[in-house]
Structure 1
């Protein structure tokens, strides 16, 4: 019987190790220290300690930070949740915010920072200067390589909206 017990125990261990789908368990999206930090934040917002964040909790928390939020502002924040905000809902909402950033948007928005007139274009000379002098600097050769396939019009305008689409989805065939 002792041998049987140990095999049962081994079986129990293997079923526990089965990874859970991220969609089914919001706690699987974060590590323990992150969950602990979210719990502390939740407790700071849950001013009346009833286990739920309501409009009054939000108001009191913001007031303690020297803000004077309007009712409309608080309603807007509360309407982001599909129901009462307990800790699991709080984590779910943060998880969606943190994981929901569409890389395509992120790339496009990075280019948009340098497009002061919001045209969807940056002049290739200006972009070359930015790429070779800021952040993780590109070499001239790397910029040339990028420009080889890039959508640049006859005036030298780099179409970053189209470029971002190409990065994420591949180039359209010339025949399309």
Structure 2
């Protein structure tokens, strides 16, 4: 009988040591969990950095633009939303142009993705080229556009500017003194600021 009791005690002590090992094993993943949580926090924080790139006023303006473009109000910008927006601005886009715009985003275009795209652009990718292409419609040769023609377009088409808003915009434009604006310098001024205007 004593041998049986010894065996029983050994079994109990073995079970007790296994149970003690289980909490230790459970504690190990718990120790790893904070690391995972902090990495999740980091990932979330880096995703929200796009909001830190803009002032609250700019984010509000982007939000207003996003809501304007989101014609079906589903929280995502689709090809049809973009088509309807361009149609309302008097510009007809082909399917291939619209597809190209949609493909600029690596996924569905919600507001955060919308901000990310603009954030990438303001970091100097190709915004200047986009502005130069827009101004190319007004190029009258030698990289110049007529200030009056540009003013008329700003006040007539798309989201119309008031006369005073157009005056404020064009007051900053580099002019040749004969009523012509240097398109390249103006695009540089709009994208890079005053410090590189002469470049």
Query: TM-score w.r.t. structure 2 length?
Result: 0.41
Query: TM-score w.r.t. structure 1 length?
Result: 0.46
